Amino acid sequence: MIIDIHLGKSAELTLSYHMYDNSVSSLFYERMKQQENSVLDRTQFYNFGETEQDIKQQLEDVSQQLLTAGLISDINQDNLNELHENFPRLHAETTDLNHKALLQKFNYLIHHLEDLSRKFNSKRFLFTCEDDGIDLPEEAYSMFTPSKKFGVMYMNYPHVGKHFLELFADNDVHIPNDQIQFTTKMSNTVYCWLDNDKYVSQFELDDLMMMMFMFYRQIQNKIPYQWKDPRLTIGYLPIGELVTKDIDISNIAVHKYVHSWTCR
């Protein structure tokens, strides 16, 4: 089972991923194989040559579109901060698909700018298909991991809200309860990590889990699960990895566009 992801406006670059030999990866592969080859306007590339100025300009453009659409009354910083904080609620309440796309792009650009300002240089890209998803298979809950490895394809977070690892990374102890969303769906959402391995040694993982446990205790009253319950779905679900990891990352910077994919 191989998924070829074709990058570039004319599919000039292909990254081939071999799916893992388990029932969860097989299900993901079959769902992608049946999926119409159409990527929503949620393709996100991080740290392939973008600058803070690039993202700020895109954010200004999107903010103007939000203003024109009547989703905000002006584009002062306080208004934009409020929009970001209320993104999950606004996204859920908005029925206009064009407005949803604008809100999603705004949210992505905010996170991208935060990434760059914090000097996070983690290279990855992700995309989302038009897919409501299915219930996450029971066996998948125990497969989530906070570690990331070069060349691994993960299922991207399929919900609007914040998952536990994101809460921890942001130290977001004040988040409203209804904005915490644990992964309960399998959806055709793809997250490709193309940077150095992160949290892979047992020592690093043990240290990370201890820090997350201390954070968990601060917001335990907002979480319906006990610590170490698989339903916390901490991290991402690995589903495959590059057939060959000897790739030139600079080529991706030239072709930052998901054209299509092929299942074979």
pLDDT in tens, 71-110: 766 666 655 666 666 666 666 667 677 777 777 777 778 7
With tokens 């991207």, the residue in question is 156
Residue 131 has a pLDDT of 85
Residue 35 has a pLDDT of 86
pLDDT band at 120 (very low <50, low <70, confident <90, very high): low
Kind plus residue range of the DSSP H or E element containing 238: strand 237-242
Bridge partners, residue 3, by sequence: 17, 263
CB 200 within 8 A of CB 235: no
State the architecture of 2-48+123-263 in CATH terms: Beta Barrel (2.40)
What share of the chain in percent tops pLDDT 70?
A: 88
Residue 192 has a pLDDT of 96
* pTM of the complete model: 0.85
Q: Average pLDDT in the 139-147 region?
A: 95
Other C-beta atoms within 10 Å of 197: how many? Answer: 14
